[in-house]
Chain A
Amino acid sequence: MFTIVDRQELTKRDMISLTVEAPAIARRIRPGQFVILRVNETGERLPLTVAYSDAVAGTITIIFQVVGKSTALLASLPIGDAIRDLAGPLGAVMEFENVGTVVGIGGGSGIAVLHHLLIGYREAGNRLIGVIGAREKDLLILENEMNRLCDRVIVTTDDGSYGMHGLVTDALKDLEEQGERLDLAVAVGPLVMMRAVCQMTRLYDLPTIVSLNPIMIDGTGMCGGCRCTVGGERKFACVDGPHFDGHKVDFDELMRRNATYSRDERLSLLSSVRRG
């Protein structure tokens, strides 16, 4: 059992941050790696990325958006309660190199993962520019943390309620047009956002790393549910990734695969609501 030591509601809506006692994982985890948790006996194995870890305190912090039954269940746990299973760290260990200037582009709950990855790039000595976006002001997370970590941060909202009015790709375009020298892009967020970013950076000839979130069960390379096509090859996101060269990822295929269980997910949510 893994005890929850802190819980924050990051937005007025449904973005939750949980800090969980997991000393062994906290010691071992590297930026970009993820965990799989199971809230209770009947629960799913839910892959979640880690926003920060504290090896000294022996805790990891996960940030997630409530989108279905499992995340709602997780969000309902108070401080002091415990998560039944927590396995990790999972995913390949990334190499962080000093390339110069890294632009980190994050959308929605993907900003949490982006933040963790940028810590790795900061440790490698890179200059960081953060571009973070949300649908509206109330849904934006980790702005202060990003401000502390990055040399420059641009905030966008789809409805213009805060920061720049537009999408993260608009901000990226501005940066490019301003003649900002960019050496690497790191994009984490919804698949449509990552696809749009990659289409743009391909034009700019800017190498781009994305973090994928396919369906998976075990997270150790056993089920093959997370397979995706990268550069024409079959890759398992759980052991080969979850980070890949965004210019090689077949996003359309991944979007189709991620929708496989959308009907079941609705059914699961509905049945749990009915039972109260």
Chain B
Amino acid sequence: MTQNGQHDGAFVTGAGLAAYCPNCRKALTMLDPSRQEVVVHLRVRCGEESGDLFLAPSAEGGRRTSTLDICEHDTVDAVFCPHCGASLVDGQRRCAACGGPMARVLVAGVKQPRLSSFCVTAGNVNALTEKPPEAETQRPARESRHRMPEQDAVLRARNFSEVTYGFDRELAMAEAARCLACKKPKCIEGCPVNVDIPAFVAQVKAGDFLGAAHTIKQRNALPAICGRVCPQDQQCEEACVLGKKEGPVAIGALERFVADFERGTDAVTLPERAARTGHRIAVVGSGPAGLTLAADLVLLGHAVTVFEALHKLGGVLAYGIPEFRLPKDVVEAEIAYLRRLGVKFEVDAVVGRLFDLGDLFTEGYDAVYLATGAGLPIFLGIPGENLCNVVSANEYLTRVNLMKAYLFPDYDTPAPKGTRVAVLGGGNVAMDCARTALRMGSREVTVVYRRTRDEMPARTEEIVHAEQEGVRFRYLTSPVRYIGDEQGWVRQLECVPMKLGQPDASGRPRPIPVSGASYLLDADLVLVAIGAGPNPTLFAGCEGLERSERGYIRTFSDAGRTSLPRVWAGGDIVTGSATVILAMGAARLAAADIHAYLSDGATDWPVPAATAVA
């Protein structure tokens, strides 16, 4: 293609499009912040000298700058990737106008990545010549489920922007129109907090998005979060009767759309708050359970204070779930909403250290809700676990998400780096680790899991996204030893192959090692994502609080009453590692029970002897 009558330059940049090295797949495009424009960075050789060339494409013909002294129309001799040094010269073609070399790069955007060549000599690489294809917004056949548009896998695997873009109005209304409005909706039962799904979907269908937001918020104070991280495929959407044929109604995507729509307007309405009761409630932990309980009780007229040990609110929503899956401004907006409802928050408040349960009652709180989560990382307990760069998922994700290590050194906290990364485990946390490691610049990321894809506890969407982004999977594989170098850094994993046996207590087939066939896997960073246990800090000063064999808090009712009067507990600290929405479901029940208990003016704390023993 020839434009401006001179040079070949079918090179594209523009919104959402970027160029990559076909060899190392690193980005060649970057943003010049001083000019707010995208430039293409190449290494060029001109005679004896080599240096950097920056091409800024524009409709008028573009502009080039270089560390070399290149005149307007000087021809360069060769062109390389600035990251890996591979030659980018297109061997097949030369520029028809100037005869100079053409650079061949990988261009990725909303479409599938493809190779594209352009003349390097010309400063005027052409402006965006193609519009993003319509495909993403095209409506699929009427009856089948609509999918949210996503960032291209090649592109997104190198950035921290959110993977899915979410529905727009038209797509949301079209998807909502698929709902059959069943007489006996199964989806509500599938939802741990029993959102009136058919009602809000009907409102979306009618275009009443704010009404839909209001409907959801009656049962769920954090819809923008749940729409993104709930395992809908195992809950409401699994129960949808459409599921068997055309795919269930995309309830999660609709919930997210509605919440985002409301947040984008100034129309966030606050529900009416009941008259003040005078009761004070302390919530320990600002994760999903704590936030949900706080929202419920504050609306019922109680004074609620949430204590958080870290400097930032949100618990696992802040430190665990990555930016590309749950943007932190979404979390902050939901917390700001709770503040507007009247919830008080205290950060840097470590339970069991700065204060304990007794202190809370001394200070006049009438009830305490413990929702500290499962924060203690579990390790495999195999040799070599303390080698450098064997890191818990908690540590890795906390460094990257909470401390923003992906912006290092602008933020001060670094994250461990590896070329070949092994992620141990098959849950959502493992997927988060693997995908984060890709975005942190690792060349190869492999998930090592001891069962098969079918048994992986991660959300299907997360597994698919990880696969699309290039994460590798080694199933039926279990590590038995870490091998390090002389300096104490991990270099390899010794693994044994597994086979599936009879179902175990969890109902999944038990993995059994296949004897005598171990092998080595190269890895210079290992992320251990095999689960978490109860954090021991909480229990200092909690004498009399009964715990299960696994160390979690024992509760004596569905509402989460503990062995101590006026103390409730919920979320992962009761169940062990589970999901955001299950924690929220538990918090709902506890909120209702706390309200009933305080309203009654009851003083007794009946704990059935039979269950207490069990």
Docked-complex contact A89 and B388, CB < 8 angstroms: no
- B536 interface residue (CB < 8 Å to A): yes
User: Which chain B residues border A228 with CB–CB below 8 Å?
Assistant: 386
User: Which chain B residues border A261 with CB–CB below 8 Å?
Assistant: 414, 416
List B538-586 residues whose CB lies under 8 Å from chain A.
Answer: 540
Docked-complex contact A45 and B395, CB < 8 angstroms: no
With A222-B398, A223-B398, A271-B409 known as contacts, the answer to whether A87 contacts B414 (CB < 8 A) is no
- Minimum distance in angstroms from A195 CB to a CB of chain B: 15
Q: Which of B355, B403, B404, B535 contacts A220 (CB 8 A)?
A: B535
- Minimum distance in angstroms from B465 CB to a CB of chain A: 25
User: Which chain B residues border A256 with CB–CB below 8 Å?
Assistant: 388, 487-488
List A244-276 residues whose CB lies under 8 Å from chain B.
Answer: 253, 256-257, 259-261, 264-265, 267-268, 271-272
Docked-complex contact A221 and B487, CB < 8 angstroms: no
Docked-complex contact B350 and A88, CB < 8 angstroms: yes
Binds A, one of B4-12, B122-130, B374-382, B437-445: B374-382
User: Which chain A residues border B319 with CB–CB below 8 Å?
Assistant: 218, 222
Of all chain A residues, the one with the shortest Cβ separation from B395 is A223
- B311 interface residue (CB < 8 Å to A): yes
Docked-complex contact A70 and B348, CB < 8 angstroms: no
- Minimum distance in angstroms from B5 CB to a CB of chain A: 44
User: Which chain A residues border B309 with CB–CB below 8 Å?
Assistant: 87, 218, 220
Docked-complex contact B354 and A257, CB < 8 angstroms: no
- B341 interface residue (CB < 8 Å to A): no
- B177 interface residue (CB < 8 Å to A): no
- Minimum distance in angstroms from A245 CB to a CB of chain B: 18
Kindly state the separation between the CA atoms of A253 and B355 in the bound complex, as whole angstroms: 34
Docked-complex contact A43 and B412, CB < 8 angstroms: yes
Of all chain B residues, the one with the shortest Cβ separation from A252 is B488
- B220 interface residue (CB < 8 Å to A): no
Kindly state the separation between the CA atoms of A229 and B392 in the bound complex, as whole angstroms: 16
Count contacts on A: residues with CB < 8 A to the other chain: 43
Kindly state the separation between the CA atoms of A261 and B389 in the bound complex, as whole angstroms: 10
User: Which chain B residues border A265 with CB–CB below 8 Å?
Assistant: 414
With A87-B350, A89-B353 known as contacts, the answer to whether A225 contacts B391 (CB < 8 A) is yes
List B395-420 residues whose CB lies under 8 Å from chain A.
Answer: 395, 398-399, 402-404, 408-414, 416
- B428 interface residue (CB < 8 Å to A): no
Docked-complex contact B399 and A86, CB < 8 angstroms: no
Docked-complex contact A234 and B413, CB < 8 angstroms: no
Can you pick out 29 interface pairs between chain A and chain B where the beta carbons lie within 8 Å of each other?
A: A42-B411, A45-B311, A85-B311, A85-B348, A87-B311, A87-B348, A88-B353, A90-B350, A218-B319, A220-B310, A220-B375, A221-B536, A222-B319, A222-B376, A223-B377, A223-B394, A224-B377, A224-B391, A225-B395, A227-B379, A229-B386, A257-B386, A257-B388, A259-B388, A261-B414, A264-B408, A264-B414, A268-B412, A271-B410
Top 8 A-B pairs ranked by shortest CB distance?
A: A264-B414, A256-B488, A223-B395, A224-B392, A87-B348, A85-B311, A224-B377, A271-B409
- With A25-B354, A271-B410 known, 14 other A-B pairs at CB within 8 A are A45-B413, A84-B311, A88-B353, A88-B354, A89-B353, A221-B376, A224-B376, A224-B394, A227-B379, A228-B386, A256-B388, A257-B386, A265-B414, A267-B414
Residues of A at under 8 Å CB distance from B?
Answer: 24-25, 28, 38, 42-45, 69-70, 84-90, 93, 217-218, 220-225, 227-229, 234, 239, 253, 256-257, 259-261, 264-265, 267-268, 271-272
Residues of B at under 8 Å CB distance from A?
Answer: 309-311, 319, 347-350, 353-355, 375-377, 379, 381, 385-386, 388-389, 391-392, 394-395, 398-399, 402-404, 408-414, 416, 487-488, 535-537, 540
